Chain A
Amino acid sequence: MKEELEKRIVKGPDGIEFEVEPLRDYYCEAAPTVMPQAYSKIIEGFFNWARAESLWILGFGTGCGAIEMRPLMTPRFDAYRYGVQWRPTPRQSNLFIISGYLSVKTLKRAIRSYEQMQNPKYVIGLGSCTINGGMYWDSYNTIKCLDDYLPVDLYIAGCMPRPEALLAGFEELKKLIRAGKAEGANQYAENFEWYKANQKKVILDWDMPDYNW
């Protein structure tokens, strides 16, 4: 446990001393719950259509595959045409692209970012590293199968996949969302224990609350 996360006594500006316990006080520890769909099928379908047509990507490049996302903003590929946009904060985005190998250190950040996103949220695994470890299959500090740690909706295979493959992947994801099959956030909530156990197995210096909104 890091020093700044331990329980300690703090002196306020007005001289009163009080106790803070960072993990308790600064984070919300409530586990995620399964969020129900809209009451009516038609409305849910309508929302799903809107969600599919407005994919906001969290700009978080993890591995070398991240370099393939940049061309999507350029005139040549221009993903904005398809309603794909980049958002700088996890709160506002609903698509998380794990772009390539994920070292254990980054996994920690990826989990925190994922948990801060709002339901419904989608995860795309980009490149063979996310599927089976790729060329890092025997590395000591990368994870091998992303699906064990975050609920992945779609994999884009290749090392590395071309931007065209990404565009095709977005279109596939849209089909999934429209069909109501992209319920990763609820899956995560349902199998929360399992995901946490997997995550804790690889992250040895676990120094954050189990769930951080």
Chain B
Amino acid sequence: MEFEWIKIPYSLLTLFIVVNYGLLMTAFIAKIAARVGRRHGIPIYQNYIDLIKNYGLRSSITHGVMFYLGPVFRLSGGVGLLLFVPSIYGSEMFSNLSFAGDLILALYFIFFGTLGMALGAAESGSPHSAIGITRGLSQVTAAELPMALAVFSVALQYETLSITEIVAAQQGSVLNWTLFTNPLAVVAAMMAFLGSMMRPPFDVVLAPQEIPIGPPTEYHSSYLALMQTNRVIFPVAKVVIYTNLFFGGATNWPIFFLKVFLIYMVSAFVGVAFPRFRVEQSIRWFLIWAMPLGILAILLV
């Protein structure tokens, strides 16, 4: 397969759309969560202002090279995840840089950001970051197991490692979605999804009142702004993978927005309804409930 240069501006366009969509969607979800608490919550454009303000702060200090690289790694994890996965199925413009083995690459990228963050936060020297990182890595690792199992199960089911082909196999009718052809894998993956969204009950990593916001304790100004950007890209990118693998992909932008929003809402709903897990509780939860489902999904395929 030869490389077409036109793909680069197209992918940047995708990135642009996703950033804006992510900023608005996270604010909207924060608003919904506020309404659950009978508040009005932040204005819908608040995320933009916060971002501008953080880029506009005059001073910033550093703790070393890795401190710089942490947010950069994190952002490249999010952007990479987004760019190597086709966001709109069947559209030449928005298939991004996807290729035959992109499924494995996507799995890598999911973990990449977390590791970068770990290195950067460790350099900042704040004990709170260290605690946050320990919790984060153990929880993400535990959540990644069912996710990987589910992904392998799906890959076995469709006998391909290309996300585009997996989406192609799900076209036609709703009943062709992996959700119905391989429900166990989807359930296991959704459980893992909850774990990686940093929302309650799995937000002990951030725990603002206990370990001042965990890994990013020392991050400020532009560093923080970079991480905020990633915080809107990464969840959307992750949900895009889920739509593609399990929910039939999206053939145009409205459907894309709708599906991403609904899947994201799953974690938001669970988030407002359940209190926080401790780390050992959440790991146990993943190993006892999500893992067996993932294994079963592989065995049944």
Give the number of A-B contacts (CB < 8 Å).
82
The CA-CA distance from A83 to B42 in the complex, in Å, is 6
Q: Which of B178-186, B207-215, B284-292 interfaces with chain A?
A: B207-215
Over the window 105-127 of chain A, the binary record of Cβ atoms lying under 8 Å from chain B Cβ atoms (1 yes, 0 no) is 00000000000001110000000
In Å, the complex CA distance between A201 and B198 comes to 46
Q: Determine if A197 is an interface residue (Cβ-Cβ < 8 Å).
A: no
B173 proximal to A (CB < 8 A): no
Q: Are B42 and A118 in contact (CB under 8 A)?
A: no
Q: Are A78 and B208 in contact (CB under 8 A)?
A: no
Per a CB cutoff under 8 Å, which of A38, A50, A74, A89 touches B213? A89
Query: If the complex has contacts A80-B34, A81-B43, A118-B58, are A47 and B217 also in contact, measured as CB distance less than 8 A?
Result: no
B20 on the interface (CB 8 Å rule)? Answer: no
Q: A75-B38, A89-B217 are in contact. Are A54 and B59 (CB under 8 A)?
A: no
Closest chain-B Cβ to A5's Cβ sits at a distance in Å of 17
Tell me, yes or no, whether B220 is within 8 Å of chain A by CB: yes
Binary interface encoding of chain B residues 57-69 relative to chain A, with 1 for a CB under 8 A from any of its CBs, else 0: 1111100000000
Residue of A nearest to B41 (CB): A80
Q: Which one, A51, A78, A119, contacts B59 given CB within 8 A? A: A119
For A47, list chain B residues within 8 Å (CB). 52-53, 56
CB distance B49 to A54 under 8 Å?
A: yes
With both chains docked as a complex, state the minimum distance between the C-beta of A80 and any C-beta of chain B, in angstroms: 5
B42 adjacent to A53 (CB under 8 Å): no
The answer to whether residues A88 and B213 also contact, given A78-B39, A80-B34 and a CB cut-off of 8 A, is yes
Asked whether A50 lies within 8 Å of B40 as measured between CB atoms, the reply is no
Q: Is A91 an interface residue (CB 8 A)?
A: yes
B43 touches A92 (CB 8 A): no
Contact of A28 among B46, B57, B60, B61 (CB under 8 A): B61
Residue interface mask B10-30, A partner, CB < 8 A = 1: 000000000000000000000
**A88 pairs with B61, CB closer than 8 A:** no
Closest-CB distance, A82 to chain B (whole angstroms): 9
B219 touches A80 (CB 8 A): no
Interface string of A72-109 (1 = CB under 8 A from B): 00110010110101011101101000000000000000
* A119 with B217, Cβ < 8 A, contacts A80-B39, A88-B209 known: no
CA distance A148 to B26 in the complex (A): 42
Cα–Cα, bound, A185→B216 (Å): 23
Please give the distance in Å from A184's CB to the nearest CB on chain B: 12
Is B37 in contact with chain A by the CB < 8 A criterion? yes
A74 CA / B34 CA spacing, docked (Å): 10
Measured in the bound complex, the distance between the Cα atoms of B272 and A200 in whole Å is: 48
A83 contacts B46, C-beta separation under 8 Å: yes
Tally chain A residues at the interface, Cβ within 8 Å: 29
Q: What 0/1 readout, one digit per residue, does chain A (28-64) give for beta carbons within 8 Å of chain B?
A: 1000000111100000001100110110000000000
Let me know if B221 is at the binding interface, CB within 8 A: yes
When distances are taken between beta carbons in the complex, the residues of chain B under 8 Å from A94 are 53, 57
- Given A51-B53, A91-B217, A91-B219: A118 in contact with B37 (beta carbons within 8 A): no
- Which residues of A sit under 8 angstroms from B60, Cβ to Cβ? 118
A89 CA / B217 CA spacing, docked (Å): 6
In the complex, chain B residues 267-296 whose Cβ is within 8 Å of any chain A Cβ: none
- How far, in whole Å, are A28 and B62 apart by their CA atoms in the complex? 11
> How far does the alpha carbon of A92 sit from the alpha carbon of B56 in the complex, in Å?
13
A6 to chain B, nearest CB (A): 21
B218 is an interface residue with CB less than 8 A from chain A: yes
A213 within 8 A of B: yes
A80 to B42, CA, bound (A): 5
Output the least CB separation between A38 and chain B (Å).
8
**Contacting pair A51 B58 (CB below 8 A):** no
Q: Which residues of B contact A (CB under 8 A)?
A: 34, 37-43, 46, 49-50, 52-53, 56-61, 208-209, 212-213, 216-221, 224
Known: A75-B38, A92-B220, A119-B59. 4 other contacts (CB 8 A): A53-B49, A54-B52, A119-B58, A213-B61
7 smallest beta-carbon distances between A and B, as pairs: A47-B56, A88-B212, A35-B58, A50-B52, A91-B220, A75-B38, A119-B59
Binding site for B on A (CB under 8 A): 28, 35-38, 46-47, 50-51, 53-54, 74-75, 78, 80-81, 83, 85, 87-89, 91-92, 94, 118-120, 185, 213
CB pairs A–B below 8 angstroms (21 shown): A35-B58, A36-B58, A47-B52, A47-B56, A50-B53, A51-B53, A53-B53, A54-B46, A75-B38, A80-B34, A80-B40, A81-B41, A81-B42, A81-B43, A83-B42, A88-B209, A89-B213, A92-B213, A92-B224, A120-B57, A120-B58
